[in-house]
Amino acid sequence: MDAGIHGHCDRRFSRVAAVFGRHFERGEETGAALCVYQGDDLVVDLWAGQADPRAGRRWERDTPCLVFSCAKAVTAVSALRLAEAGACDLDGPAAAWWPEFAAAGKEHATGVHLLSHQAGLPAFRDPVTVAEAADPAALAARLAAQPPEWEPGTAHGYHALTYGWLAGELVRRLAGQTVGEYLAEHIAGPHGLGLWLGGPAEVITRAARISRGPAGSSSAQRTRDQQGGSGQPGRSDQRGGSDPRSGDDPRSGDDPQGSGDPRSGVIAWAAGEEVRDLARRAFGNPDPTSVPGGSNSVAVLSAGWPASGLLATAAGLAGFYRLLLAGHIISPATLRSALTPRATGPDRVLGVSAAYGLGFMLPSEAFWVPAAGRPGAFGHSGLSGATSLGDTASGLAIGYVTSRMGIGATAGTRAARLVSAVYASVG
């Protein structure tokens, strides 16, 4: 293993370490970590690079990193755990436990609709500041009063940011806690997982600094780096595709899954202006770049936006999925229900085909996995290129975190290459 790569890798997974190392050799990473379990066996545990290049702070095994929408699965599982305990009926109207949500034609919207991007509320109608986004009750009240873009249950569209305050309201009302508090008390804390929604000061201090673009970028690019990326859809760094120089194209070979484009919650800009406009509103309000430091700011990281604000270690993400597969967070029956496809086909926000269970992305254009993973894979990707994945068929649990948002193909394909290498190692 390269001297700059730390950790360990089972010999059977040596190709995973090789791909991980090549990303650094090609300058596609600043700092990153990858953790893989097969069953209870920790088969890959790698980290490398710098957590904060400005300060010369190295990446360590326990370095937390913002993983953006990987948060959605954690928030949804918190809600599922409460539903499993009998706190609510997800198939019934959300208004049964959230009476205000019945307003503006949403009286028949169910908990399932809220957890599967079918609620018709993919974007806030009015501007939301970063300061306002720290108040989950206020944001939930806005969504409750807002008319939907479509009748709940009749279509689906990626609720990029609103998802957290919709699913999170179930937790807040039925547990009396924010999702971050519930996660700390009932999931991350008891199991020793490196997962935080609303990072305490000590965790934020250790966190990797999100940056964008290649080394040696311009002064304008460095300004965007300091803000941790725009969070806006439609930029080249969110496109999928593969580097033809890599020699490890995750799309090579038989690929019956649509285009095979390993995109992670991206926007298909061949779509119409209506889709593009909805995507801009869904991804850009609230906008972290409106405050100094952007996604690296204490204001964002301490608020714990429940759809996009998760701080996680690679081991924490992989450990979360390992415990899900083992039935230690929710029951196997609840997990099976959560993995039942609830919404499939063209996504009104992403402009590509997507498939959603309850809180989890399922194999589709929006959540690329190799052919070997399609029978059992589920999980969630993040805007930076981070990914989290479990597989009921193979027993794999994968967590990949990265501090570089990437440009061109690097955001989507780094994770796709690593996941492909993991499945190829399993055989």
| 396 pLDDT higher than 90 | yes
- pLDDT of 344 over the 90 cut: yes
CA atoms within 13 A on the CB side of 242: 19
Run of H or E including 181 = helix 179-182
**Between 223 and 133, the higher pLDDT residue:** 133
Q: Could you tell me the CA-to-CA distances from 229 to 168, 278, 420 in Å, in that order?
A: 25, 20, 27
pLDDT value of position 258: 32
* Residue 398 belongs to some domain of the structure: yes
* pLDDT tens per residue across span 98-111: 999 999 999 999 99
Tens digits of per-residue pLDDT, 115-142? 999 999 999 999 999 999 999 999 999 9
Distance CA 23, CA 83 (A): 41
Take residue 42 and report the two structure tokens written for it: 């920790």
Asked whether residue 223 carries a pLDDT value surpassing 60, the answer given is no
Could you tell me the pLDDT band of residue 34, with boundaries at 50, 70 and 90? very high
Residue 252 pLDDT = 35
Quick check: is 60 in a domain?
Answer: yes
Give pLDDT, residue 212: 79
pLDDT of the residue at 184: 98
Q: Which residues 6+ apart lie within 8 Å of 208 measured at CB?
A: 31, 51, 52, 59, 63, 64, 65, 66, 401, 403
What are the tokens at 278?
């909805």
Domain count, the chain: 1
Q: Specify whether the CB–CB gap between 401 and 45 falls below 8 A.
A: no
Residue 249 falls inside a structural domain: yes
Range of 45's domain?
5-72+186-426
pLDDT digits (tens, 9 = 90+) for 177-187: 999 999 999 99
**pLDDT value at 221 more than 70:** no
Q: What is the DSSP letter of 366?
A: S
Q: State the pTM of this model.
A: 0.89
CATH code of the domain in which 340 resides: 3.40.710.10
What is the band of 237 on the pLDDT scale with cuts at 50, 70, 90?
A: very low
Maximal C-alpha separation, the chain: 60
Check pLDDT > 50 for residue 248: no
Query: Where do the H-state alpha helices sit in 287-398?
Result: 298-301, 314-326, 332-338
Q: What angle, 0 to 180 degrees and rounded to 10, lies between the N-to-C axes of helices 136-145 and 162-175?
A: 110
Write out the DSSP string of 36-71: EEETTEEEEEEEEEEEETTTTEEP-TT--EE-GGGH
How many other CB atoms sit within 10 Å of the CB of residue 223? 11
Query: Is 44 within 8 Å of 36 (Cβ atoms)?
Result: yes
Average pLDDT in the 303-332 region? 98
Q: What is the DSSP letter of 96?
A: G
Residue 119 lies in a domain: no
**How many whole angstroms separate alpha carbon 48 and alpha carbon 130?**
32
What pLDDT score was predicted for residue 90?
98
| pLDDT, averaged across the chain | 88
Q: What percent of the chain has pLDDT over 90?
A: 82
Residue 167 forms part of a structural domain: no
* Banded pLDDT at 271 (limits 50, 70, 90): low
Let me know if residue 10 belongs to a domain: yes
Residue 105 resides in a domain: no
Q: 367 to each of 266, 381, 387, how far by Cα in Å?
A: 9, 7, 10
Radius of gyration, alpha carbons of the chain? 20
Name which residue leads in pLDDT, 346 or 259: 346
Instruction: Classify residue 46: in a domain, yes or no.
Output: yes
